[in-house]
């Protein structure tokens, strides 16, 4: 691959790349160039080892046994909760609820926070650029309650309009649910400003942070959001792990989401006393090994520092955007001033899936399609995009390989 | 920077000139006004979407066929080749082609058709077999054909 000989920029950090075993393989005879971290990120060796060590030495059920393994499993599992509370600066570990992923976290808020009090005429506000997981749970909720889902528009660059959202936030609105970073476009929304406005009107705000947490420093107290949701597998941890941060006073008032073991203090056929936070929301045996891995992933991120990661990716995204825009017939989709990690594009009139197949044959993994954001595609009048997404382990070499592969795709179709 | 990267044989096999030609200039493209049978095919993961229109005469001859929709080069070319192939055939023979093409694309023994046809131009689709994630792009129009002839009027989904 010609990109291998390219001079490394000072921000390229081969140590980071070296931590990820999956990146060191050939695909279709080419070194793997992984540009699909927005769909799911690869895992560092420390995460893989933490899960394996847990399985080999510490596995038992959590919060239950008096024996040593159960104690070890509980320590490891709860250790992740402490680490995450610290990582996103929650005021208390009780505000960290473990879920199966962002989707699960959002559904929990829809059903437990909103549904008991929502009535016809009430409104939930989202934006046009949301992932389906921040659309469909609200549509279902509205069907269940007679409330109305209101969608704030986006502009040609893929950014929301703060003044429009401000106008929408009247007394009928019971929740504002927004992406922190758009998965399809990479737009970083001005969430702090918007939350500030919502707060003055007493409207709670949920942020879908799935695409933000792996790329930006996130401080839930500084943001002053009421709920913050994210997924482990997009931040170098295992699949099937997710987090719901909720303001303690709100979580306290919410009924349980699911019933079962671990979420109770006392059960009789006359009635059940629910467990304290956050266990009230964690029914059943959780994905213990997954959360042990997630704890290792957060540790990995903290060791590097989110500010450094953010700076590295910012420079790399600028490089990638420039390189892509210099390719003949590339149309960039998502051109907001403030972006993180993602660049969607179209190559001439070649369908994104054909682009994806040709790139894969050169070892370059990108996502193609609607990215679970079909309303975004409808807005831009396209069936889908090709999307290159970056993570801390990507380098300029990866971008150069992408460009070479796109030229090949262009030649095949020209 | 060297921007020359040559496509592999597999890739050339997938995007043969015939496929690219049909993708760029699909035959029988557009809505058919007087139609007796139609079906929609969608590939929800990809977003490919096409509608197949048939005019089937009383003697079960397909006297007209058109399609419209959008999709990748493989799905559009496959639909275009379908229209060229089945126009003027009996529905029975069209279904024989359906079985032969599905077998060509999937190689699944259970799909092995009783009647083997010379697939002619349709053989250009066989390169798709090396790309498992693209097989359903190529079969989409053919499943829609099956649905339309059987008058189910259902939307065919690849999922």
Give the end of a domain, one of A268, A303, A338.
A303
Residues A299 and A318 in one domain: no
Nearest by CB: A405 against B5, B47, B133: B5
- CATH code, domain with A99: 3.40.640.10
Q: What is the mean pLDDT of chain B?
A: 89
Query: What are A213-227's pLDDT values in tens digits?
Result: 999 999 999 999 999
CB-defined contacts A:B, below 8 A: 71
Residues A57 and A204 in one domain: yes
Is the pLDDT at A16 greater than 50? The verdict is yes
Residues A220 and A261 in one domain: yes
- CATH code, domain with A390: 3.90.1150.10
pLDDT bracket for residue B12 (50, 70, 90):
confident
Residues A293 and A311 in one domain: no
Residues A256 and A364 in one domain: no
Contact at CB, A369 and B46, closer than 8 angstroms: yes
Residues A271 and A242 in one domain: yes
User: Which residues of chain B neighbour A351 with C-beta distances below 8 Å?
Assistant: 71-73
CA distance linking residue A259 with residue A116, whole number of Å:
16
Provide DSSP, A126-187: EETT--GGGTHHHHHHHHHH--EEEEE-B-TTS-B-HHHHHHH-STTEEEEEEESB-TTT-B
pLDDT bracket for residue B4 (50, 70, 90):
low
pTM: predicted TM-score of the whole model, two decimal places: 0.92
User: Which residues of chain A neighbour B2 with C-beta distances below 8 Å?
Assistant: 2, 404
Domains of chain B: 16-157 (3.90.1010.10)
Nearest by CB: B7 against A2, A351, A408: A408
Residue of B15, B47, B49, B70 for testing the chain A interface, max A β-carbons within 10 Å: B47
Give the end of a domain, one of A303, A338, A368.
A303
Give the end of a domain, one of A303, A334, A361.
A303
Other C-beta atoms closer than 10 Å to the C-beta of A291 total 28
Q: Which helix (H) or strand (E) holds A196?
A: helix A191-200
Sheet holding B155-157, edge to edge: B62-70, B48-56, B37-43, B155-157
Residues A398 and A287 in one domain: no
For residue B45, give the chain A residue with the closest CA. Answer: A369
Percent of chain A with pLDDT over 90: 92
Is the pLDDT at A14 greater than 60? The verdict is no
Nearest by CB: B2 against A2, A354, A383: A2
Is the pLDDT at A206 greater than 70? The verdict is yes
User: How many domains, chain A?
Assistant: 2
Q: Which residues of A are marked as active site?
A: 372
Residues A389 and A404 in one domain: yes
Contact at CB, A403 and B11, closer than 8 angstroms: no
Residues A172 and A57 in one domain: yes
Residue of A1, A136, A351, A398 for testing the chain B interface, max B β-carbons within 10 Å: A351
Residues A113 and A98 in one domain: yes
Q: Which domain holds residue A182?
A: 48-303
What pLDDT is recorded for position A5?
40
Residue of A348, A363, A383, A386 for testing the chain B interface, max B β-carbons within 10 Å: A383
């Amino acid at each position: 691959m010609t990109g291998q000989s390219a001079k490394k920029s000072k921000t390229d950090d081969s140590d980071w790349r070296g931590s990820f075993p999956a990146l060191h393989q050939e695909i279709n005879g080419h070194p793997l160039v992984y540009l699909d971290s927005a769909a799911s990120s690869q895992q560092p060796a420390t995460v893989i080892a933490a899960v394996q060590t847990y399985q080999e030495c510490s596995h038992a059920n959590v919060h239950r046994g008096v024996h040593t393994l159960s104690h070890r499993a509980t320590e490891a599992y709860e250790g992740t909760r402490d680490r995450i509370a610290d990582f996103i600066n929650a005021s208390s570990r009780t505000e960290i609820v473990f879920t199966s992923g962002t989707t699960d976290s959002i559904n929990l808020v829809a059903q437990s926070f909103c549904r008991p009090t929502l009535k016809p005429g009430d409104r939930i506000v989202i934006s046009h650029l949301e992932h389906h997981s921040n659309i469909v749970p609200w549509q279902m909720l509205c069907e269940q309650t007679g409330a109305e889902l209101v969608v704030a528009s986006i502009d040609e660059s893929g950014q929301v309009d703060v003044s429009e959202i401000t106008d929408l936030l009247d007394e009928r609105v019971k929740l504002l649910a927004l992406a922190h970073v758009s998965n399809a476009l990479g737009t970083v929304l001005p969430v702090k400003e918007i939350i500030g406005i919502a707060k003055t009107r007493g409207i709670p705000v949920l942020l879908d942070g799935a695409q933000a947490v792996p790329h930006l420093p996130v401080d839930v107290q500084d943001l002053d959001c009421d709920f913050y949701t994210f997924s482990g597998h997009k931040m170098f941890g295992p699949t099937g792990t997710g987090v719901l941060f909720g303001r303690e006073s709100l979580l306290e008032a919410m009924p349980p989401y699911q019933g079962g073991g671990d979420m109770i203090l006392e059960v009789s056929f006359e009635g059940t006393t629910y467990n304290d936070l956050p266990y009230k929301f964690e029914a059943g045996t959780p994905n213990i090994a997954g959360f042990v891995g997630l704890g290792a992933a957060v540790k990995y991120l903290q060791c590097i520092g989110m500010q450094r990661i953010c700076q590295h990716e910012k420079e790399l995204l600028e490089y990638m955007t420039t390189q892509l825009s210099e390719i003949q017939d590339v149309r960039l989709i998502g051109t907001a001033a403030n972006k993180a990690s993602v660049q969607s594009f179209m190559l001439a009139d070649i369908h994104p899936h054909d682009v994806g197949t040709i790139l894969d044959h050169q070892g370059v993994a990108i996502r193609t399609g609607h990215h679970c954001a079909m309303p975004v595609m409808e807005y831009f009048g396209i069936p889908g995009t090709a999307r290159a997404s970056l993570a801390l382990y990507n380098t300029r070499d990866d971008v150069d390989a992408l460009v070479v592969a796109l030229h090949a795709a262009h030649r095949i179709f020209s | 920077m060297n921007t020359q990267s040559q496509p592999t044989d597999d890739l050339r096999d997938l995007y043969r000139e015939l496929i690219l030609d049909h993708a760029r200039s699909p035959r029988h493209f557009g809505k058919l006004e007087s139609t007796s049978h139609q079906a929609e095919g969608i590939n929800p993961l990809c977003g490919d979407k096409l509608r197949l229109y048939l005019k089937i005469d009383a003697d079960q001859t397909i006297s007209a066929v058109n399609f419209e929709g959008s999709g990748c080069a493989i799905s559009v070319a496959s639909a275009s080749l379908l229209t060229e192939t089945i126009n003027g055939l009996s529905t029975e023979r069209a279904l024989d082609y359906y079985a032969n093409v599905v077998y060509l694309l999937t190689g699944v023994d259970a799909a092995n058709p009783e009647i083997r046809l010379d697939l002619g131009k349709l053989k250009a689709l066989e390169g798709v077999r090396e790309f498992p994630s693209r097989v359903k792009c190529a079969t989409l129009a053919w499943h829609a054909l099956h649905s339309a002839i059987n008058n189910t009027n259902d939307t065919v989904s690849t999922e």
